[in-house]
Amino acid sequence: MPTPGDDAAGTGIVRSALFVPGDSEKKLAKAMASGADALLLDLEDSVALSNKQRAREITTAFLKDAVTKSKRPRLFVRVNAFDTDLTADDLDAVMAANPDGIVLPKSESGQDVTRLDAQLRVHEAKQNIEDGSTGIIAIITETAIGTLQAGTYARASKRLESVAWGAEDLSADVGALRRRHDNGTYRDLFRFARIQTLLGAVAAKVEPLDTVYPDFRDDNGLRRECEDAMLDGFTGKMAIHPAQVPIINAVFTPSDEEIKRAQKIVDAFASAGNPGVLGIDGEMLDRPHLRKAEKLLARVGISSHQSG
């Protein structure tokens, strides 16, 4: 079956997105062999204010070498949020190394993504990078206002590839003392943020990424959370440790059976002249079933026009 992670740099498919501190040469090098579809090289939360410039230098040097490799994960840089006044310096440094994309934290609305789009266009022109080639992942629920604006990302930018949600910064912004119940499930505020992210992604026609699972030693808890996210419609999950990547990839990779079923549905509709409804194996299927099958095939890099 197709394996999205085999050449993620070429496909754009992201099941697993691993955060890596941008000021650690050792962790950056180790992350390249993690199997993650994307690395999120972090200049924000994992880097102390006093070490921001050093992190920019290390990250830029790492990118210049890593982007030349034929088999590699996609390489994104999480810059500091707009309200820190550090974003411009971050972009000045890392855009010289032509990353695959930028992660925008604490995005408060689609206008923030549009603002980043304009800045990236200038940097691409300066660096002779193809116009529009730098993607954007926006983390959209780290503030109260951001969570309420999740529906504003449609048409914000053609660069926008994914939206993700974050719980820790949101809890700090709101003043919530706990994020989860004793059984590990999220409390209502964070369930709301998660749902907002999922619906916002669908409205914007981009991929929804689930937030990190902080206990990297709890494989069972991580798997359960991945399965819940996948069943709800998330297509990938962010990670904070390389050990989490294999579980995330396994859960978010459709099985051979699921792929064959989706291809059968797409082929049947095409052969029948794309009707509103048809029967397959004794089951009546309509257009929503077709759209769902097309989405699954797209996740593994199969064109909906490709025959089985």
Listed by start position, the domains of the chain span 4-252, 256-299
Instruction: Write out pLDDT tens, residues 223-238.
Output: 999 999 999 999 999 9
What is residue 2's predicted lDDT score, i.e. its pLDDT? 36
Asked if 223 contacts 244 with a C-beta cutoff of 8 angstroms, the reply is no
Q: What are phi and psi of 271, to 5 degrees?
A: -65, -30
What is residue 12's predicted lDDT score, i.e. its pLDDT? 53
Ordered DSSP codes for 43-107:
SSTTS-GGGHHHHHHHHHHHHHHHTT-SS--EEEEEPPPGGGT-HHHHHHHHGGG--SEEEETT-
Lowest mean pLDDT among 9-18, 107-116, 167-176, 241-250: 9-18
The confidence band for 3, taking pLDDT boundaries of 50, 70 and 90, is very low
Q: Average pLDDT of 113-119? A: 98
Top-level class of domain 4-252: alpha beta
Angle at 243 between CA 242 and CA 248, to 5 degrees: 90
Phi-psi region of 278 (alpha: psi -120 to 50; beta: other; left: phi over 0): beta
To the nearest whole number, what is the mean pLDDT of the chain? Answer: 91
pTM, 2 dp? 0.87
In this predicted structure, the answer to whether residue 6 has a pLDDT above a threshold of 50 is: no
Ordered DSSP codes for 263-305:
HHHHHHHHHTTS-SEEEETTEEEEHHHHHHHHHHHHHTT--TT
Q: Average pLDDT of 236-244? A: 97
Q: Count the helix, strand and coil residues of the chain and give each as a percent rounded to the nearest 5.
A: 50, 15, 35
Q: Position 290: which residue type?
A: L
In this predicted structure, the answer to whether residue 9 has a pLDDT above a threshold of 80 is: no
What is residue 302's predicted lDDT score, i.e. its pLDDT? 62
Instruction: Write out pLDDT tens, residues 251-276.
Output: 998 878 888 888 898 988 988 888 88
In this predicted structure, the answer to whether residue 183 has a pLDDT above a threshold of 60 is: yes
Lowest mean pLDDT among 118-132, 153-167, 265-279, 287-301: 287-301
